[in-house]
Structure 1
Amino acid sequence: MSGGKVVVVGAGVVGMSTALFLRRAGRDVTVIDPFAPAGGCSYGNAGMISANNAAPIAMPGMVARVPGWLMDPMGPLIVRQRYLLKVMPWLARWIRAGRIDRVLQISDAMRALNRNSHELWRELVGAERYAELIRRNGQVHLAATDDMPARNADAERRIRERHGLEVVQLGQDDIRRMFPGIAPDITRGIIVPGNGYTTNPRRLVGSIGEAFVAEGGQMVSERVLKLVPRERGMLVLTNTSNYVVDDVVVAAGVWSKDLIKGFGVRVPLEAERGYHAMLPNPNIDLQYTLTLRSRGFGMTPMESGLRVAGTVEFTNRESPPDERRAQQFVPKAKRLFPSLIHGEPKLWMGMRPSLPDSLPVVGRLPRIPCVHLAFGSSHFGMTAGPATARLVADGVLEIKSAIDVAPYHLDRFR
């Protein structure tokens, strides 16, 4: 073995990928999480792997749409009234991140993380499991006849031109060939080559865990309560144990800021809730993942059915889920495919670890260099997670990374 002991807090896609990269580099690595990989957003996401996407969530023109979204209790965005004051500073940062000059800068950083996503997934889980669980046949974005042109269309065009990203226009005949039985009002679309999806996010991230354990890593089902600095290294206190280690990687999703606030660090990380409905035994056979932005959802064909996912909800982290936000996907899916028949829907809610600029926080904690930050992938964990993990692992190993870490530093929020 070379190097010292490492604890990785969090068994999601970023935590598990970081742990496996470090283990393969010869480090003694323990992953601590109450749940096996993957029990949070790495389980319940839409499964999209968007290597050829470089557009953040905050885009020019989106602010004008927010009032209309908020007026619709089942719309794509909801802010619970009691939480509004608390989330206002985050929303103000989100608005600033949507200015075109900043959007183009963010797109550069997103492209750096996303572009090799498929290659990194293949490296992590192996060629056989990659072929079993990932489809790289493109992502489809659809629009209805009466949909207004997107206010951010010009910004998206500039991002594509900036990074040489290709899209293929789809006509009505193309759409009906690709999606038999789709509603007649769906008349426009594009496909983004090189993108794709996983047929089972839980099994995909679980495959990293299997490789990690098989290669000598340790998984512990505990909850980390506090990080206590020592003269050298860190003491990790959990609900049942103590761990004395040389390095700690904080990859605990929305709970990451709880672990670092004791060091006087503040980060604008929000628990942005998303929902999905899994429709088992559908009578339609989708071959692509698709998104209908005007209706605020996407559909992905998975091993256990059709996953219909989307929405953004801001509320207290401890508040119970609003199951209606997941149930609404059922009529939306049937509006898109009128002949759709399926089994009893299975509902889910999870909390995306979201930062206003859609970029993760990566790097050493200021003044405490043995703590490494790896959280905040927002809507892009399945895409950017592996590259984020490689960047973090390089920092722990003190080797030069192929990606410049500067755009992801915590100090960008000062």
Structure 2
Amino acid sequence: MQQHESGRLRVAVIGAGIVGVSAALRLVADGHDVTLIDRAGPGEATSHGNGGVLASCAVVPVTVPGLPAKAPRMLMDPDSPLFLRWSYLPRLLPWLAKYLSHCTAGETERIARALLPIVGDSLAEHRDLAGGTQAERWVAPSDYLYVYRDRAAFEADAFGWRLRREAGFTWDEIEGTALGAYDPLLGEANRFAVRLADHGVIRDPGRYVKDLAETFQARGGTLLRGALQGFLIENGRLTGLATDGGPLACDRAVLATGVWSGPLARELGIAVPLESERGYHLELEAPSALPRAPVMFASAKFVATPLEGRIRLAGVVEFGGLAAGPGQAPFELLERQVRRAMPALAWGSTRQWMGHRPAPADSIPVIGPSPACGDILMAFGHHHIGLTGGPRTGRLVADMIAGREPKLDPAPYSPARFAV
């Protein structure tokens, strides 16, 4: 392995979403020569379209007990947040079988324990990452509200709330007229809410990642537009990357390309059962008012987040692969649901977006060295928690490359669990 000087490495980070940019910033801070490469540019894909919430309490995966029985009914319900492109079902089935195998109490508890160290102190991690830069203007502390029809609906979610309590989260319960006093936008259909303090919001996720990337460049990092074609490995050691712009010499590489990481990871000795969980958002421009805090409407499974001069409605789960374009039904559902949930809200125009959440079958990110070449680290598969967990993931990657003892146990995220 060649180094410029003692301890100084040439590191290539592939993928300029929040995970890749966070890793690149940490690696530059460690004194390495870092190149960040992305085919579209920073913050242009999933990191642009996420819900904008620093959801530290998001330790409960989708695969909770009872999901296999509910899913078929949800697919038939036009007001359900679950969609499927039926022509894609044959390709989806192998992954789906693995995914649903985790719908047990024991597996849900195990996954929650693994997610907590990545997301549990998200606001502090983002403040540390963005502090003193132009990106910090987008980071704001906030409550995070889970809204239910009534207390009975909340109690039906007792399993998930038990896991959050065991993870150390506390909350206030707001009921009846007190909920309307907390936020007048919440209609009378919402009679109960859980308020979690010490969460946060990114007021413009796409701009935030771009500002972080500009900071990376200002601190000496190199940003390239291009696509990775493969890894150059000699005698088991990484020597560079093959890109569409030619070879790029490097001593270490970080693969942080989200849902597009699967085929590249297979070249490196792991077969991750990874699918696109297609996510939609609908932005309401020039709203008559902004929610006081991000609101998760629990029954409809969508979040309404106050951003810079607009409200982003994000949610919906659709399985249909990477190639198909967006459908209109999810956007129409989000608009119907917000009119029910916030009947006093008015707005001007709307903007639509669809993107790809990287969903490993076990809902746990893949972070760590490749079994085939330890010079290449994986950092992808964050499912619903990419924005929330990006900075902590970047810190973990930098610790691994520096040989430092990380502050969390890296074992649950190891790529070796998918070794072929």
Give the TM interval when normalised to the shorter protein: over 0.9
- Name the stretch that deviates more: 140-149 or 310-319: 140-149
- Give the Å deviation of 1:294: 1.1
AA matched with 2:47:
S
- Give the Å deviation of 1:102: 1.8
What does 1:258-297 align with in structure 2 at a 5 Å threshold? 258-297=263-302
Query: Partners of 1:342 and 1:202 in 2: how far apart?
Result: 22
Alignment of 1:229 onto 2:233? yes
Query: Partners of 2:275 and 2:314 in 1: how far apart?
Result: 19
- Give the Å deviation of 1:129: 5.0
- The sequence identity of aligned pairs, in percent, is 31
Alignment of 1:43 onto 2:44? no
What are the Cα deviations for residues 295-336 of structure 1, in whole angstroms up to 9, with x where unaligned? 121100101411011011111211111133223322221222
What are the Cα deviations for residues 349-374 of structure 1, in whole angstroms up to 9, with x where unaligned? 00001112322101100021111000
Which of residues 189, 203, 227 is equivalent to 1:199?
203
Alignment of 1:323 onto 2:328? yes
Query: Partners of 1:24 and 1:219 in 2: how far apart?
Result: 16
- Name the stretch that deviates more: 375-384 or 91-100: 91-100
AA matched with 1:205:
V
AA matched with 2:190:
I
Secondary structure of 1:113's aligned partner: helix
Query: Partners of 1:130 and 1:237 in 2: how far apart?
Result: 31
Alignment of 1:90 onto 2:98? no
- Name the stretch that deviates more: 192-201 or 50-59: 50-59
Number of aligned residue pairs: 413
What are the Cα deviations for residues 170-220 of structure 1, in whole angstroms up to 9, with x where unaligned? 111221012214321211111112222111111222222121011000000
- Give the Å deviation of 1:22: 0.5
- Give the Å deviation of 1:130: 6.6
Secondary structure of 2:194's aligned partner: strand
Query: Partners of 1:182 and 1:165 in 2: how far apart?
Result: 24
Query: Partners of 1:289 and 1:187 in 2: how far apart?
Result: 17
Give unmatched runs, 5+ long, in structure 2: none
Alignment of 1:106 onto 2:97? no
- Give the Å deviation of 1:21: 0.4
Tell me: CA distance 1:345–1:147, structure 2 relative to 1, closer, same or farther (3 Å): farther
Equivalent position of 2:174 in the other structure: 170
Tell me: CA distance 1:147–1:240, structure 2 relative to 1, closer, same or farther (3 Å): farther
Paired residues of 2:14 and 2:20 also in contact (CA < 8 A):
yes
Paired residues of 2:288 and 2:347 also in contact (CA < 8 A):
yes
Tell me: CA distance 1:181–1:374, structure 2 relative to 1, closer, same or farther (3 Å): closer
Query: Partners of 2:155 and 2:86 in 1: how far apart?
Result: 28
Query: Partners of 2:336 and 2:57 in 1: how far apart?
Result: 30
AA matched with 2:162:
R
- Name the stretch that deviates more: 183-192 or 20-29: 183-192
What does 1:12-411 align with in structure 2 at a 5 Å threshold? 12-73=17-78, 75-126=80-131, 132-145=137-150, 148=153, 151=156, 153-231=157-235, 232-411=237-416
- Give the Å deviation of 1:229: 1.5
AA matched with 1:141:
Y
What are the Cα deviations for residues 126-183 of structure 1, in whole angstroms up to 9, with x where unaligned? 15757632232210011124974565x2322331332221021111122101221432
What are the Cα deviations for residues 375-398 of structure 1, in whole angstroms up to 9, with x where unaligned? 001000111111111111111222
Query: Partners of 1:380 and 1:326 in 2: how far apart?
Result: 22
Paired residues of 1:234 and 1:248 also in contact (CA < 8 A):
no
Secondary structure of 1:402's aligned partner: coil
- Name the stretch that deviates more: 40-49 or 133-142: 133-142
AA matched with 2:62:
I
- Give the Å deviation of 1:256: 0.8
- Name the stretch that deviates more: 84-93 or 394-403: 84-93
AA matched with 2:166:
R
Paired residues of 1:277 and 1:327 also in contact (CA < 8 A):
no
Runs (4 or more) in structure 1 with deviation over 6 Å come to none
Query: Partners of 2:44 and 2:271 in 1: how far apart?
Result: 26
Query: Partners of 2:248 and 2:42 in 1: how far apart?
Result: 21
Query: Partners of 2:364 and 2:370 in 1: how far apart?
Result: 17
Paired residues of 1:277 and 1:345 also in contact (CA < 8 A):
yes
Secondary structure of 1:257's aligned partner: helix
- Name the stretch that deviates more: 323-332 or 64-73: 323-332
Query: Partners of 1:182 and 1:120 in 2: how far apart?
Result: 30
Paired residues of 1:277 and 1:346 also in contact (CA < 8 A):
yes
User: RMSD of the alignment, in Å?
Assistant: 1.9
Tell me: CA distance 1:198–1:171, structure 2 relative to 1, closer, same or farther (3 Å): same
AA matched with 2:274:
L
Tell me: CA distance 1:24–1:149, structure 2 relative to 1, closer, same or farther (3 Å): closer
Q: TM-score, normalised by structure 2?
A: 0.93
- Name the stretch that deviates more: 121-130 or 370-379: 121-130
Query: Partners of 1:246 and 1:299 in 2: how far apart?
Result: 43
Paired residues of 1:147 and 1:294 also in contact (CA < 8 A):
no
Query: Partners of 1:130 and 1:171 in 2: how far apart?
Result: 36
Tell me: CA distance 1:117–1:278, structure 2 relative to 1, closer, same or farther (3 Å): same
Q: TM-score, normalised by structure 1?
A: 0.94
